[in-house]
Amino acid sequence: MDFKTVLYEVNDYVAKITLNLPEIRNPLTEKSANELLQAITNADRDPNVRAIVITGAGKAFSAGGNLNEFKKNLEKTAPELHFEGRASTELFKVGAKVQTPLIAAVNGPALGGGTGLVAMCHIAIASSEAKLGLTELRLGLVPFVIMPWVRRAVGDRKMLELMLTAEIITAEQAKEFNLVHRVVPPEELEAEAMKVAKTVASFSPLAVQLGLDAFYNTEQMDLLKSFDYLSTLRLVSFMSEDLREGASAFLEKRTPNWKGQ
């Protein structure tokens, strides 16, 4: 696709998606949310992609919602807002559906929906200059759509604190709260994110996919039923070409040639 608000490139089995509205701090507008969703979906369907890195152009990762769009929303009917809002809703649903690991490279401020995007990614690496926060209440809003991801990352009571105080926190605080996994100097961010992405991409894509399936599908499942479900997934793994290839490559001391089958 010919994207207008994101940049998309694939190298060495890694797709890099860059929010590309730096002059307005990469907000999640209706258009950019749609294009980001499409870019993630395209990467997830591409057999040549085994990891996805999401970052922002310029000094910001994403400043969240766009105030100009919020003002226009005040003049719309409830049905219009409902159907137009599906773009951002679908964007944040994709994190639980995608079968390719998402890695956030948080290069700068990630506020509101930007924090939600970071929380949605499976692995998050932040520049020491990054700032995060649920600032919606400052505008009379509530972080409705991103709440499930932030709650999953930080827990119930920390989610309430972040939401009710609308505090902007440092990258180190975000790491302490489990919003990000690593904090690195700004000049090392891209290299560190690509290093992690290439490590993930070096594993069997089938095994990675099964791992994500296992994680999400057993989250709300009865404990005993989860063991039955996981035993079924294990059979798929045990009978896969990738497992045979991985075992052979290990014994032969060579790099495995994954087929994803």
Q: Output the pLDDT for position 183.
A: 98
Q: Output the pLDDT for position 2.
A: 85
Residue 184 has pLDDT above 80, yes or no: yes
Q: DSSP letter for 62, please.
A: B
> Strand, coil or helix: what is 9?
strand
At 223-235, the pLDDT tens digits run: 999 999 999 999 9
d(CA 45, CA 50): 10
The residue-averaged pLDDT of 74-91 equals: 73
> Strand, coil or helix: what is 236?
helix
d(CA 18, CA 108): 13
Q: Output the pLDDT for position 220.
A: 86
**Beta-strand relationship, 131-133 and 110-111:** parallel
Residue 125 has pLDDT above 90, yes or no: yes
The pTM assigned to this predicted structure is 0.91
Average pLDDT, the chain: 92
- Other beta carbons less than 10 A from residue 209's beta carbon: 18
At 5-23, the pLDDT tens digits run: 999 999 999 999 999 999 9
Residue 79's pLDDT band (cuts 50, 70, 90) = confident
Q: Output the pLDDT for position 260.
A: 83
Q: Is 136 a catalytic residue?
A: yes
Residue 69 has pLDDT above 70, yes or no: no
Q: Output the pLDDT for position 76.
A: 72
Q: Output the pLDDT for position 36.
A: 96
Q: Output the pLDDT for position 261.
A: 85
Q: Given the residues 136, 176, 192, 245, select the one marked as catalytic.
A: 136
The residue-averaged pLDDT of 178-205 equals: 97
At 32-47, the pLDDT tens digits run: 999 999 999 999 999 9
Residue 68 has pLDDT above 80, yes or no: no
Query: Terminus-to-terminus CA distance in the chain, angstroms?
Result: 28
The residue-averaged pLDDT of 151-163 equals: 97
